[in-house]
């Protein structure tokens, strides 16, 4: 067998190097999708708790619990200098722990601005309502616009203090430890639920098969993927967009329009996963950038 002559000075032929900006292809034969609990949307509460605790500690104001009837005396001479002094009623005391011969300090770190307490309560109430009451489509958008308009209008006209005064002279304050007492347990629970508990609540799209577990502790169920239809429910703007950053509720229908429906709530990054699932159901396996 003869071979073609090699030109003088020629070297071995090698393929051109890959573009460094291009990711290598990866063949995917299975996609697992997790559903999440509504606790997923409670991250603003623990985040705001840590922020407000930090602001309160940084401000460094102190608060004491005093007996009823305590009065403030301005300019009272103590140790040769004028001071503002709290005077407890006769026969009562402030109950502050102190060592013999040393002055007692209040010990509770709070902010002098009651806006922090208002912000914490507002965050807690809004997140609780948004994660419990589901408003889909235009209704959720209208509710969100009205809520933002009300909050901004009251802030621009400096009416929040008047509103709180009308509601019984509310002065909402919490010490720094109180914010942490809410934020730390909630963060721990959030991490455990999102990354441990919710991992037992899933749907797997395999080649020609759909496997799922909808309730934690149930056995895995397998169905044929032939003819399956996957769709996303309409969004709740506040829950899925603002709190979930692109979450959504996934519905898989197996066996035609009237067949069994499998619903997976609060799926993260649902739009991208829908594209991959649709391609897999049609092609059995897909190739994507790694």
pLDDT at 175: 86
Average pLDDT score over the chain: 78
The arithmetic mean of pLDDT across residues 168-185, rounded, is: 85
| Partner residues linked to 251 by β-bridges | 231, 263
Q: Does 101 score more than 60 pLDDT?
A: no
Tell me the three state secondary structure of residue 164.
Answer: helix
Q: Note the maximum CA span of the chain.
A: 119
Highest mean pLDDT among 135-144, 145-154, 264-273: 264-273
Express as a percent the part of the chain with pLDDT over 70.
Answer: 77
Highest mean pLDDT among 89-93, 123-127, 148-152, 254-258: 123-127
Give the contacts of 71 (CB within 8 A, at least 6 positions apart).
Answer: 86, 87
**pTM for the predicted model, two decimal places:** 0.74
Asked if 289 and 18 touch (Cβ cutoff 8 Å), the reply is no
pLDDT score for 100: 53
Residue 56's H or E segment, with its range, is helix 43-59
Query: Three-state SS across 124-149?
Result: HHHHHHHHHCCCCCHHHHHHHHHHHH
Question: Tokens 């889909």 identify what position?
Answer: 136
Question: Is it the case that residue 239 has pLDDT exceeding 80?
Answer: yes
pLDDT tens-digit map of 86-98: 777 777 766 665 5
pLDDT at 286: 58
Distance, CA of 223 to CA of 228 (rounded, Å): 10
CA 269 from chain centre, in angstroms, equals 14
Q: Which pLDDT value is given to residue 149?
A: 81
Ordered domains of the chain (ranges, CATH): 25-37+199-289 (2.30.29.30)
Calculate mean pLDDT across residues 247-260.
81
Q: Band the pLDDT of 268: cuts 50, 70, 90.
A: very high
pLDDT of 46 > 90? The answer is yes
- How does residue 41 score in pLDDT terms, banded at 50, 70 and 90? very high
Residue 1 has pLDDT above 50, yes or no: no
Q: What's the CA gap between 272 and 253, in Å, rounded?
A: 19
- Residues 59-74 have pLDDT tens digits of 877 777 777 777 777 7
d(CA 285, CA 288): 10
Indicate whether 10 pLDDT > 80: no
User: What mean pLDDT comes out for the span 188-214?
Assistant: 90
Residues 20-32 have pLDDT tens digits of: 555 556 677 788 9
Residue 11's pLDDT is 47
Identify whether the C-beta of residue 16 lies closer than 8 Å to the C-beta of residue 274: no
Tokens of residue 208, six digits = 């020609």
Asked if pLDDT for residue 200 goes beyond 60, the answer is yes
pLDDT band at 2 (very low <50, low <70, confident <90, very high): very low
Selected residue with higher pLDDT from 105 and 175: 175
Burial class (CB in 10 A: 0-12, 13-18, 19+), 202: middle
pLDDT the model gives residue 287: 59
Q: Indicate if the pLDDT at residue 138 is higher than 90.
A: no
Which token pair is 101? 């011969």
- β-pairing, 31-34 vs 202-206, is antiparallel
Tokens representing 95?
Answer: 């109950």
- What does the pLDDT read at residue 77? 72
């Amino acid at each position: 067998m003869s071979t073609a002559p090699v030109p003088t000075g020629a070297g071995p032929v090698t393929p051109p190097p890959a573009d460094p900006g291009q990711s290598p292809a990866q063949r995917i034969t299975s996609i697992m999708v997790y559903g999440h609990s509504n606790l997923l949307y409670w991250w603003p509460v623990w985040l705001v708790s840590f922020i407000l605790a930090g602001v309160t500690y940084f401000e460094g104001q102190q608060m004491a619990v005093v007996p009823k009837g305590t009065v403030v005396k301005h300019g009272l001479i103590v140790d040769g200098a004028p001071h503002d002094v709290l005077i407890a009623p006769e026969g009562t005391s402030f109950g502050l722990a102190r060592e013999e011969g040393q002055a007692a300090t209040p010990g509770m770190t709070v902010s002098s601005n009651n806006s922090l307490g208002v912000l914490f309560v507002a965050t807690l109430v809004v997140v609780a309502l948004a994660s419990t009451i589901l408003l889909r489509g235009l209704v959720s958008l209208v509710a969100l616009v009205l809520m933002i308009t009300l909050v901004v209008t009251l802030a621009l006209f400096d009416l929040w203090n008047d509103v709180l005064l009308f509601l019984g002279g509310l002065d909402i304050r919490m010490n720094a430890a109180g914010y942490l007492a809410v934020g730390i347990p909630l963060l721990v629970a959030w991490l455990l639920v999102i990354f441990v508990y919710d991992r037992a609540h899933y749907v797997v799209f395999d080649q020609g098969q759909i496997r799922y577990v909808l309730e934690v502790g149930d056995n895995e169920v397998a169905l044929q993927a032939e003819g399956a239809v996957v769709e996303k429910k309409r969004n709740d703007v506040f829950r899925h967009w603002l709190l979930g950053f692109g979450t959504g509720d996934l519905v898989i229908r197996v066996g035609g329009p009237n067949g069994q429906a499998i619903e997976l709530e609060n799926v993260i990054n649902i739009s991208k996963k829908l594209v991959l699932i649709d391609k897999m159901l049609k092609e059995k396996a897909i190739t994507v950038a790694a």
